[in-house]
Structure 1
Amino acid sequence: MVNDDIRLVQLTPPGSGCSIVIGKGAVPQMPPGSLKGLQLVVPDLHKARTQLLERGVEVSEIQVMGENPRPVPDPLDNVGFIHFADPDGNAWAVQQISSRA
């Protein structure tokens, strides 16, 4: 907590270089469902889709968007995506990247 008007919580998954910040005051306030184009990256798109379905999430079929820019270990790397909306209506894309250089 910075003060009574500004409160922040930073969430960083173990081993991740990215964080999500939630809070009030310094974080822009947006109506629920107004975020579109949020993106997550996973190493196994089939597994991620299965886990979402098992939890009752309505998720798209796997879509291949474009061609891989270089040879990769899995044909879905870089170009494989699924899409879903969270309970607030925000739109998410999940991309497969199984390994990073």
Structure 2
Amino acid sequence: MDWKLEVVVVPVTDIDRALSFYAEQLGFKLDHDIKVGPSRRIVQLTPRGSGCSIVLGAGQAMTPGSLHGLQLTVSDVRAARAELLDHQVEVGEIQVMGSAAPRPAEPEEDLNYVGFLFFKDPDGNSWAVQQINHRPVAPK
């Protein structure tokens, strides 16, 4: 039996502001925006190519900005950084994570598995983006 992660709730203070950030700046697909009562709304978005979605939560048990460690993967972290910058997302430099302390990436360096960049949403929820453009073949 498969156990698949389907949804992660992202705590935010302003659903409209967060919706704009995730849909317009990050390019997440809006799955639905449903009003479920006079003061409750369910907004679900999915990153391109992902099987897992996020739901924007206002007034939830979690404090807005308290979610850390969310991670996306891309085939080209340099292109992903350029896209984020084009969409006015404040994003850090590409970092190489390995056995030593993180360090800046070299221009022509192979970043598969080790290349990361980091950004935050308007509430301070933090995201990592990791390059995975091929996976090792498992021995048989």
By relative contact order (CA 8 Å, sep 6+), the higher-ranking structure is 1
One-letter code of the match for 1:32?
A: P
Question: After superposition, where does 1:39-58 map in structure 2 within 5 Å?
Answer: 39-58=71-90
Distance 2:49 2:89 in 1: 26
Which is helix-richer, 1 or 2? 2
Q: Which runs of 5+ in 1 are unaligned?
A: 68-73
Shift, 1:75, TM fit: 1.6
Distance 2:88 2:43 in 1: 27
Partner residue, 2:54 = 20
Q: 1:14 to 1:61 in 2, by over 3 A?
A: closer
Identical-pair percentage: 61
Using structure 2 for the length normalisation, give the TM-score.
0.52
Distance 1:36 1:95 in 2: 15
| Aligned length in residues | 92
Moved over 6 A (4+): none
Partner residue, 1:98 = 133
Please, what is the CA RMSD of the aligned residues?
A: 2.9
Return the match for 1:62 from 83, 94, 101: 94
Distance 2:74 2:121 in 1: 17
Q: 1:18 to 1:99 in 2, by over 3 A?
A: farther
- Which secondary structure does the structure 1 equivalent of 2:82 belong to? helix
- Which secondary structure does the structure 2 equivalent of 1:84 belong to? strand
One-letter code of the match for 1:94?
A: V
Return the match for 2:63 from 31, 37, 42: 31
One-letter code of the match for 2:79?
A: K
